[in-house]
């Protein structure tokens, strides 16, 4: 049994030395790397052995696609689902554990893996808005309590924790609380990782259960960093879009998925796209491929990524939800070659009817991305149109008529002329009532 990490005189832990650990080549042939400690600052080793929690979900599946394709990293992953990562299950560089972790149970294999990993990426969460106000106890448990012990474990072993939080921790913008909300002053609505206040609504608006649990976990991670030297990175994603996100109700899941899959379901089912409260909320959408590129850069530059919080989004791809609905029906018309989708119905529903009591939305999320650019050299490159074209084509190929009628799988292309570069600025679309 390897010795535990040692407590230094300043209260921080040093990583166990190579002699303390398993044989030089480690468990399962995994190489070991010890942390160098100097002047109170830890230098992180290159990431060769990685633990990914929630590896079977949307982001996890794309992360595995990229990392297992590229080379040298060995990955141990945990999730209860493997449908989206079936292609990797036989890869010798990947070990899948069909297990969950929780506040009361961390699997023995996970405890051991955290001990010897160079980094742990935590993606595991309930992160579906339809559950925030209808199932808040589970949401809080999943996003705070279940991860609490994992943070302690990483802290104890000095293992770099890359935790996926959310841009929802920012809550609503300062602008939205002004008597006449206006967005002329960026200081009142742009979101900067270490300066912007985190503003959430009252307790009875249980929609904030997710954001609040995520924020509390960020504070817990940061406290472990400050008091016990935990190397950490917090990622705040801003609407990653791409293939394999969520599920299509009635086909491979039940309930209400996130907005992308909601709109896709409506298009696939030829039912109206539903805009919650008129679809005025604005979001910046980033392609999953750009987002994964940011994570890869973090893994390649541990000393630049560690002990930082990063927004990961795309400022160029901002749309209101009403504009998004309009664009998605346009892209769907192109992908299917069926112009009738250009006038596919879009209706407005109240958030109360759609999500139930206690819903409240963030008005706008415009990330400042200077830190990711300066420290990681990352800039998102994929346009909203290209992101939607790839994504919509994927859903059509996977779930749509193409699968039933054996029609061509590739998108038909821009058959309806140029993509509208100028969108209505007020989010106004033809909204049937
Ligand atoms: N996708 C986005 O745009 C976005 C936006 C904001 C935040 N995030 C955060 O990024 C992370 C990943 O998001 P995603 O879109 O891939 O979500 P996802 O729901 O597709 O994937 C999460 C995965 O975690 C697994 N999981 C949940 N609890 C678990 C547990 N206790 N043990 C093991 N596995 C567990 C689920 O089975 C699922 O496969 C989440 O923390 C989410 O809050 C994502």
Tens of pLDDT, residues 25-65: 333 332 333 343 333 446 898 899 999 999 999 999 999 99
The burial of 338, by beta-carbon neighbours within 10 Å (0-12 exposed, 13-18 middle, 19 or more buried), is given as middle
In a mutational test of the pocket of ligand 1, which residue from 85, 127, 168, 260 has the highest number of ligand atoms less than 8 Å from its CB?
127
Mean pLDDT in the chain? Answer: 86
In a mutational test of the pocket of ligand 1, which residue from 54, 110, 246, 367 has the highest number of ligand atoms less than 8 Å from its CB?
54
CA 97 from chain centre, in angstroms, equals: 21
C-alpha to C-alpha distances, 377 to 14, 309, 315, 316, 350, nearest whole angstrom:
30, 15, 16, 17, 42
The candidate with the shortest Cα–Cα distance to 146, out of 176, 167, 124, is 124
Q: What is the pLDDT of residue 403?
A: 59
Decide: 166 in ligand 1 pocket, CB within 6 A.
yes
Question: Which distant-in-sequence residues (6+ apart) come within 8 Å of 334 by Cβ?
Answer: 389, 411, 412, 413, 414, 415, 416
Say how many Å lie between the CA of residue 210 and the centre of ligand 1: 12
**Across the strands, what pairs with 320?**
282
Q: What is the pLDDT of residue 72?
A: 84
Question: Which distant-in-sequence residues (6+ apart) come within 8 Å of 58 by Cβ?
Answer: 84, 240, 242, 244, 245, 246, 288
C-alpha to C-alpha distances, 404 to 268, 351, 399, 411, nearest whole angstrom:
12, 34, 8, 16
pLDDT band per the 50, 70, 90 thresholds, residue 18: very low
- Closest ligand 1 atom number to CA of residue 246: 20
What does the alpha-carbon distance between residue 84 and residue 25 come to, in Å, rounded to a whole number? 31
Which of 210, 232, 394, 399 is the catalytic position?
A: 210
Say how many Å lie between the CA of residue 54 and the centre of ligand 1: 6
Q: Which residue's CA is minimally distant from atom 21 of ligand 1? A: 57
Decide: 387 in ligand 1 pocket, CB within 6 A.
no
**Across the strands, what pairs with 191?**
367
Say how many Å lie between the CA of residue 198 and the centre of ligand 1: 22
Of the chain, the percentage scoring pLDDT greater than 90 comes to: 76
Provide the residue ranges of all domains of the chain, joining segments of one domain with +: 17-245+286-317+365-383
Beta strand 74-79 pairing with 49-53: parallel
Question: Which distant-in-sequence residues (6+ apart) come within 8 Å of 92 by Cβ?
Answer: none
Tens of pLDDT, residues 362-421: 999 999 999 999 999 999 999 999 999 999 999 999 998 755 544 444 444 433 333 333
Say how many Å lie between the CA of residue 162 and the centre of ligand 1: 13
Q: Is the entire prediction scored with pTM above 0.85?
A: yes
What does the alpha-carbon distance between residue 357 and residue 249 come to, in Å, rounded to a whole number? 22
Q: What is the pLDDT of residue 14?
A: 42
What does the alpha-carbon distance between residue 287 and residue 240 come to, in Å, rounded to a whole number? 6
Q: Would you say residue 310 has pLDDT above 80? A: yes
Tens of pLDDT, residues 336-346: 999 999 999 99
- Closest ligand 1 atom number to CA of residue 214: 43
Average pLDDT over residues 3-14: 35
CATH H-level, domain 17-245+286-317+365-383: superfamily: NAD(P)-binding Rossmann-like Domain (3.40.50.720)
What does the alpha-carbon distance between residue 310 and residue 307 come to, in Å, rounded to a whole number? 10
Of the chain, the percentage scoring pLDDT greater than 70 comes to: 83
Say how many Å lie between the CA of residue 94 and the centre of ligand 1: 19
What does the alpha-carbon distance between residue 117 and residue 74 come to, in Å, rounded to a whole number? 10
Average pLDDT over residues 122-128: 96
pLDDT band per the 50, 70, 90 thresholds, residue 135: very high
Q: What is the pLDDT of residue 70?
A: 75
pLDDT band per the 50, 70, 90 thresholds, residue 180: confident
Decide: 81 in ligand 1 pocket, CB within 6 A.
yes
- Closest ligand 1 atom number to CA of residue 102: 31
- Closest ligand 1 atom number to CA of residue 59: 16
Check if 132 is active-site: no
């Amino acid at each position: 049994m390897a010795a535990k990490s040692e407590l230094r005189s300043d209260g921080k832990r040093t990583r166990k030395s190579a002699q303390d650990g398993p044989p030089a080549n480690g468990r399962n042939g995994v190489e070991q790397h010890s942390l160098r400690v100097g002047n109170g600052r830890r230098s992180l080793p290159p990431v060769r052995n990685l633990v990914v929690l929630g590896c079977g979900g949307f982001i996890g599946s794309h992360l595995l696609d990229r990392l297992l394709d590229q080379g040298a990293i060995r990955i141990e992953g945990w999730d209860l689902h493997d449908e989206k990562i079936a292609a990797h299950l036989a890869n010798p560089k990947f070990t899948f554990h069909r297990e969950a972790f929780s506040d009361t149970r961390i699997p023995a294999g996970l405890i051991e893996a955290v001990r010897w990993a160079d980094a742990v990426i935590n993606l595991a969460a309930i992160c579906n808005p339809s559950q925030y106000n209808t199932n808040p106890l589970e949401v809080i448990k999943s996003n705070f309590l279940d991860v609490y012990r994992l943070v302690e474990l990483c802290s104890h072993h000095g293992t770099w924790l890359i935790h996926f939080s959310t841009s929802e921790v920012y809550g609503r913008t300062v602008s939205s609380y002004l008597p006449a909300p206006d967005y002329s002053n960026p200081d009142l609505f742009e979101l900067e990782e270490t300066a912007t206040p985190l503003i959430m609504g009252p307790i009875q608006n249980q929609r904030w259960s997710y954001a609040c649990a995520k924020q509390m976990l960020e504070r817990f991670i940061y406290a472990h960093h400050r008091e016990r030297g935990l190397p950490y990175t917090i990622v705040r994603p801003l609407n990653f879009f791409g293939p394999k996100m969520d599920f299509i109700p009635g086909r491979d899941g039940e309930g209400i998925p996130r907005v992308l899959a909601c709109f896709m379901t409506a298009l696939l089912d030829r039912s109206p796209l539903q805009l919650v409260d008129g679809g005025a909320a604005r979001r910046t959408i980033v392609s999953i491929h750009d987002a994964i590129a940011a994570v890869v850069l973090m893994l390649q530059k541990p000393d630049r990524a560690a002990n930082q919080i990063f927004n990961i989004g795309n400022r160029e791809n901002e749309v209101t939800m009403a504009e998004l609905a309009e664009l998605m029906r346009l892209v769907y018309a192109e992908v299917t070659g069926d112009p009738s989708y250009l006038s596919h119905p879009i209706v407005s529903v109240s958030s109360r009817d759609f999500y139930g009591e206690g819903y409240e939305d963030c008005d706008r999320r415009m990330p400042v991305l200077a830190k990711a650019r300066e420290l990681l050299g990352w800039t998102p490159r994929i346009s909203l149109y290209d992101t939607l074209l790839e994504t919509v084509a994927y859903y059509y190929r996977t779930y749509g008529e193409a699968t039933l009628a054996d029609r061509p799988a590739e998108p038909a292309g821009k058959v309806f002329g140029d993509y509208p570069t100028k969108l209505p600025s007020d989010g106004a679309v033809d909204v049937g009532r």
